[in-house]
Structure 1
Amino acid sequence: MKKAILCFGDSNTCGLNPVTGKRFEGKVRWPLVLAEMLGDQFTVIEAGQPNRTLVNNPPFIGELSGVSYLKPLLEAHSLAVIIIALGTNDLKQRFKLTPEQIGQGLTNLLDSIEEFYEGNKQPKLIILSPAYVKCVGQYKHVYEGAPSKNVALKKEFENIARAKKNYFCDLQQSITVSAIDGVHIDADGHAKVAALMCNLINEAYA
């Protein structure tokens, strides 16, 4: 039986192209590139949703944007791995959240996953810290103040992942967001994320 991997994230998991504002085609998006790298032993489930947050549900989008949408995915699939790629949208200026508050949102999500699988085998969890958000382009004012929180947020996520004995990947070290909008990753970034995830998953099943 194939091992199922759930990629649960925001617009960078969905594959938003920073140049066009539309979605990259499948051969570019990191979850599907990951599927190609891993081969027939695994099946990859894309679950990226623009504006998805850890702490707040953005207005007008509804439940799909919040972490509450994770439970139906857990119920629908027998998962071997869950990749959590969230936190970028929580840095938006209007939320006024500290890295610690965003980290608490991640902790709450991980606690909910543990509760869901209580008494049963839990999937392996991989936590990604967001890439380093910049204040440029059309999102300059949306993410005002985010650069001063980037490093602290990464440390929060790393500490939480280690405490939970989950796998951790620091995207700030490996991935650069687009200079056009300061938030989204380009095709090269998607390829790098896929390679990082492939290495971690192969390590987990070595």
Structure 2
Amino acid sequence: MTQIIKNILCFGDSNTWGLNSVTGKRFDENSRWPALLNKNLGPGFNVIEAGQPNRTLVNNPPFDGVLSGVSYLKPYLDTHKLNIIVVALGTNDLKKRFDLTSSAIANGLNDLINAIKAFYQSNSTLKPPQIIVISPAKIRLTEQYARIYSGADVKLKTLSDEFKQIADNQKCEFINLNSVNALAEDGIHFNAQEHEQISYLIANAIKQLMNNF
């Protein structure tokens, strides 16, 4: 009997892409969390890595092209038959230059989920995937990012709760990364240990989700 493969799309920013803040390069497949997630889940799962540095939920970052969530997600929905979408965004929206409240960022998440649902409503032959919302992790305002992320630590205090409320209202799974601190040198990106920890958190959530079907 041919095994049915479950496709999981990990749609996020530089922490999903696997930026190593020490080298400025990308962690390899033995270190970044989406690749580790695939190994932790084992046979029967295919993890599609869709991380992009500077990706946002609300605005298109100046000088970086069109990197907002909605515009870059649709090609993945068109190309892949997805069972689960993991949305791990929101950190870049906390940058001072965007001047967004936590509620505005949460509304961006809500709009992204609505866009996903609208896509599948217009494609009745496709079964809508389950959505897992990942809240941004805590950050440290190091000298490198203190000006860029000024005030972000305050907004983060309410952002996780607002993300959870959106996830509950939209009947999505929710994983709170508030317990995970960004220990890497720059205070924003994950180190290898955190990538491993996050991969297990998400793998456990996905296994539980699959058990409920």
TM-score by length of 2: 0.93
Partner of residue 62 from structure 2, selected from 56, 59, 75: 59
**1:205 counterpart letter in structure 2:** M
> Do residues 21 (structure 1) and 21 (structure 2) align?
no
Could you say what secondary structure the match of 2:83 adopts?
strand
Partner of residue 201 from structure 2, selected from 196, 199, 203: 196
Q: Partner of 2:157 in structure 1? A: 151
**1:148 counterpart letter in structure 2:** V
Q: Partner of 1:84 in structure 2? A: 87
Q: Partner of 2:46 in structure 1? A: 43
Q: Cα gap change, 1:64/1:179 in structure 2, threshold over 3 Å: closer, same or farther?
A: closer
Q: Measure, in 2, the Cα distance between the counterparts of 1:34 and 1:179.
A: 20
CA contact (8 A) 2:142 2:186 kept: yes
**Cα distance, 1:21 vs. partner?**
1.9
Aligned residues, how many?
Answer: 205
Identity %: 51
**2:136 counterpart letter in structure 1:** P
Could you say what secondary structure the match of 2:175 adopts?
strand
Q: Partner of 1:75 in structure 2? A: 78
**1:172 counterpart letter in structure 2:** N
**Cα distance, 1:52 vs. partner?**
0.1
Q: Cα gap change, 1:65/1:115 in structure 2, threshold over 3 Å: closer, same or farther?
A: closer
CA contact (8 A) 2:70 2:112 kept: yes
TM-score by length of 1: 0.96
Q: Partner of 1:111 in structure 2? A: 114
Q: Measure, in 1, the Cα distance between the counterparts of 2:32 and 2:78.
A: 25
Could you say what secondary structure the match of 1:117 adopts?
helix
CA contact (8 A) 2:54 2:67 kept: no
Residue by residue, what CA displacement relative to the aligned partner does 1:176-199 show, whole Å, maximum 9, x if unpaired? 102521110100110011001110
The CA RMSD over aligned residues, in Å, is 1.1
**Cα distance, 1:67 vs. partner?**
2.9
Mind listing any 5+ residue stretches in structure 2 that lack a counterpart?
A: none
Mind listing any 5+ residue stretches in structure 1 that lack a counterpart?
A: none
**2:205 counterpart letter in structure 1:** L
Q: Partner of 1:102 in structure 2? A: 105
**Cα distance, 1:144 vs. partner?**
0.4
Residue by residue, what CA displacement relative to the aligned partner does 1:63-116 show, whole Å, maximum 9, x if unpaired? 345431100010000000000000000000010100000001000000000000
Residue by residue, what CA displacement relative to the aligned partner does 1:19-47 show, whole Å, maximum 9, x if unpaired? 22211111101000000011111000000
CA contact (8 A) 2:69 2:112 kept: no
Q: Measure, in 2, the Cα distance between the counterparts of 1:76 and 1:63.
A: 20
Larger displacement relative to structure 2 (19-28 or 97-106)? 19-28
**Cα distance, 1:132 vs. partner?**
0.8
CA contact (8 A) 2:70 2:115 kept: no
CA contact (8 A) 1:53 1:67 kept: no
Q: Partner of 1:3 in structure 2? A: 6
> Do residues 169 (structure 1) and 175 (structure 2) align?
yes
